[in-house]
């Protein structure tokens, strides 16, 4: 058996793992990273990036459909209806994925990190075996960074199949379904559901909670709910999915019932071509028993604010650990942090705010505390808002049509910004300034006295801050 020895072993080349490996190698540490599939992980290969590519394509197709309507749109008309070739669309998406995958591999190589392809099987906390038989490789390390990520949750009464899909399969469909039922009204389900609706499919959402996107407050959800209603996306909330039945016509019937209903004769159903199950993700923590690392009751690896496990020299980052946020940017942040900790730097994971973005139409963005959260935390609160409809750049991009706005939450006494949220088309690109403001402990006056370029959508952040202070310039 081949034996490799290294200072840092990273298991998993997703957005946390590959960043950890690159930074470790940059710091002069002999680094090996093991990946069972393709470098880039869930986010790059079968999650964030491919879904955003499909979302962009759906927006483009939807816009062309407007131009093809009688009379055209924006003075532009197309002689006939736009046509969709799902196979070519998926091919275009895969081209982006391939380019980024090769980019990650090149970054690892240029930094000096060695990429080993294969599934890592832990022999103990600091040793993994990759491959079988004479071709197997044993990798021994001084420090181990676990970055195996997460996988979609599969419902036991609705197992994945040709008809029942996880987000992974939903991103690879080469034929547009006539009707998609989305089980789970969280961000993944709504992003993909709205995308397929824009591409022309009928979409029905089944959600157990009393509202979709329950993590966001009613004010933020409202423009999205109106958009879904306007675009004829059927939403059933407060219901439990009960399973699927295959039909003779090649479709399936999805059964669901009111969560408070005990009488199964009141079961409801809807026919569909595909069922997309998006009820959450779980850590890929199977096979860790040999390591001795402690897991919590949900299978996440227990870590402290340095992402250290209970085993000396063993770390867990990203979706695998119990830090709370299953987000690619959190994984990348933690990967860089842990590499620097191993190199002797002083770091800790203690962000003031972590941005959350839902790439629906309209998008929903939030960082820091909402008004209610701030009040519950005991802060004296003032709130300001500014609508997209009053911003010139938003109007030129038709971003105002979804009724969006920016909202700023601050302390009334010292004007320290506690949170910024927004909903609307294209607003995800604004979150960098919002997060930086919280991390730097900015006051309302810090943003109010910063020159914001015109015409840009960043002016809305400025105006929302001015509104919080009581004197927005362009708000009626």
Domain range summary for the chain, segments of one domain joined by +: 2-46+91-152+282-342, 164-279, 356-469
Task: Evaluate whether the domain defined by 164-279 bears CATH number 3.65.10.10.
Answer: no
Domain 2-46+91-152+282-342: give its CATH superfamily: FAD/NAD(P)-binding domain (3.50.50.60)
- Alpha helices (H) along 112-254: 167-170, 187-199, 218-230
Closest CA relative to residue 40, chosen from 470, 405, 391, 328: 328
- The pLDDT of 27-33, averaged and rounded, is 98
Higher pLDDT, 313 or 264: 313
pLDDT at 77 > cutoff 90 = no
Contacts of range 282-287, beta carbons closer than 8 Å, 24 or more positions apart: 282/150, 282/151, 282/153, 283/148, 283/149, 283/150, 283/319, 283/320, 283/321, 284/148, 284/149, 284/150, 284/151, 284/319, 284/320, 285/148, 285/320, 287/121, 287/122
Closest CA relative to residue 321, chosen from 343, 288, 346: 288
* Structure confidence at residue 70 as a pLDDT band (50, 70, 90): low
Give the whole-angstrom CA distance, residue 302 versus residue 310: 8
- The pLDDT of 173-201, averaged and rounded, is 96
Choose the weakest-confidence range: 70-74, 200-204, 245-249, 326-330.
70-74
Say which residue the tokens 């063993």 belong to: 314
Give the whole-angstrom CA distance, residue 34 versus residue 132: 15
* Catalytic residue positions, numbered: 454
Task: Look over the chain and give the mean of its residue pLDDT values, rounded to a whole number.
Answer: 95
pLDDT at 324 > cutoff 80 = no
- The pLDDT of 100-125, averaged and rounded, is 97
3-state secondary structure of 195: helix
H-run or E-run covering 243: strand 239-246
* Structure confidence at residue 59 as a pLDDT band (50, 70, 90): very high
pLDDT at 67 > cutoff 90 = no
* Structure confidence at residue 198 as a pLDDT band (50, 70, 90): very high
Structure tokens at 415: 């004007």
Q: What is the DSSP letter of 450?
A: S
Q: Is 376 left (phi over 0), alpha (psi -120 to 50) or beta?
A: alpha
Task: Evaluate whether the domain defined by 356-469 bears CATH number 3.40.50.300.
Answer: no
Question: What is the share, in percent, of the chain residues with pLDDT greater than 90?
Answer: 90
Q: What is the pLDDT of residues 343-391, one digit of tens each?
A: 999 999 999 999 999 999 999 999 999 999 999 999 999 999 999 999 9
Give the whole-angstrom CA distance, residue 111 versus residue 64: 43
Q: Which residues contact 216 (CB under 8 A, 6 or more apart)?
A: 358, 364, 366, 421
Give the whole-angstrom CA distance, residue 348 versus residue 340: 10
3-state secondary structure of 377: coil
Peptide bond into 237 cis (omega under 30): no
- The pLDDT of 469-475, averaged and rounded, is 95
Pairing, β 179-183 against β 120-124: unpaired
Kindly report the number of other CB atoms within 10 A of residue 332's CB atom: 21
Instruction: Tell how far CA 218 is from the center of its chain.
Output: 20
Closest CA relative to residue 367, chosen from 414, 437, 415: 437
Query: Residue 262's pLDDT is what?
Result: 85
Query: Residue 75's pLDDT is what?
Result: 85
Q: Do domains 164-279 and 356-469 have the same CATH topology?
A: no
Query: Residue 243's pLDDT is what?
Result: 93
pLDDT at 475 > cutoff 80 = yes
pLDDT at 72 > cutoff 90 = no
Residue 105, CA distances (Å) to 6, 144, 146, 447 in order: 19, 20, 19, 39
Question: What is the share, in percent, of the chain residues with pLDDT greater than 70?
Answer: 100
């Amino acid at each position: 058996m081949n034996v490799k020895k290294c200072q840092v072993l990273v298991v998993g080349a997703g957005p946390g793992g590959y960043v950890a490996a690159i930074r470790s190698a940059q710091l002069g540490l002999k680094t090996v990273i093991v990946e069972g599939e393709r470098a880039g992980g869930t986010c790059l290969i079968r999650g964030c990036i491919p879904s955003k590519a499909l979302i962009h394509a759906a927006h483009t197709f939807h816009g062309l459909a407007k131009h093809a309507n009688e009379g055209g749109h924006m003075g532009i008309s197309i002689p006939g209806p736009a046509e969709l070739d799902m196979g070519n669309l998926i091919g275009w998406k895969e081209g982006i994925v391939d380019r980024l995958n090769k980019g990650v591999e090149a970054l690892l190589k240029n930094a000096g990190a060695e990429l080993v392809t294969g599934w890592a099987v832990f022999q103990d906390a600091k040793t993994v075996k990759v491959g079988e038989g004479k071709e197997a490789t044993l990798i021994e390390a001084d420090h181990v960074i676990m970055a195996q990520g997460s996988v979609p949750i599969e419902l036991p009464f609705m197992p994945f199949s040709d008809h029942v899909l996880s987000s992974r399969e939903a991103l690879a469909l080469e034929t547009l379904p006539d009707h998609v039922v989305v089980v789970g009204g969280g961000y993944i389900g709504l992003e993909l559901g709205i995308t397929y609706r824009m591409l022309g499919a009928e979409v029905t959402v089944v959600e157990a909670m009393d509202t979709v996107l329950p993590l966001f407050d009613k004010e933020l959800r409202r423009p999205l709910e109106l958009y879904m209603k306007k675009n004829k996306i059927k939403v059933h909330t407060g219901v439990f999915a009960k399973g699927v039945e295959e039909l003779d016509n090649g479709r399936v019937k999805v059964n669901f019932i009111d969560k408070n209903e005990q009488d199964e004769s009141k079961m409801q159903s809807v026919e569909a071509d595909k069922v997309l199950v998006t009820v959450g993700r779980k850590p890929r923590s199977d096979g860790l028993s040999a390591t001795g690392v402690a897991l919590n009751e949900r299978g996440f690896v227990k870590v402290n604010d340095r992402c250290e496990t209970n085993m000396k020299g063993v770390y867990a980052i990203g979706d695998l650990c119990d830090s709370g946020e299953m987000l690619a940017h959190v994984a990348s942040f933690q990967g860089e942090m842990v590499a620097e900790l191993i190199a002797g730097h002083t770091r800790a994971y203690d962000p003031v705010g972590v941005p959350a973005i839902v790439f629906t139409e309209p998008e929903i963005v939030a960082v820091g505390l909402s008004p209610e959260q701030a009040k519950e935390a005991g802060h004296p609160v003032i709130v300001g808002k500014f609508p997209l409809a009053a911003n010139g750049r938003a109007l030129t991009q038709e971003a105002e049509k979804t009724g969006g706005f920016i909202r700023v939450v601050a302390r009334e006494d010292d004007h320290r910004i506690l949170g910024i949220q927004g909903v609307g088309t294209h607003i995800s690109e604004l979150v960098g300034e919002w997060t930086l403001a919280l991390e730097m402990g900015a006051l309302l006056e810090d943003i109010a006295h910063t020159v914001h370029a015109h015409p840009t959508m960043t002016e809305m952040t400025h105006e929302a801050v001015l509104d919080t202070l009581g004197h927005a310039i362009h708000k009626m």
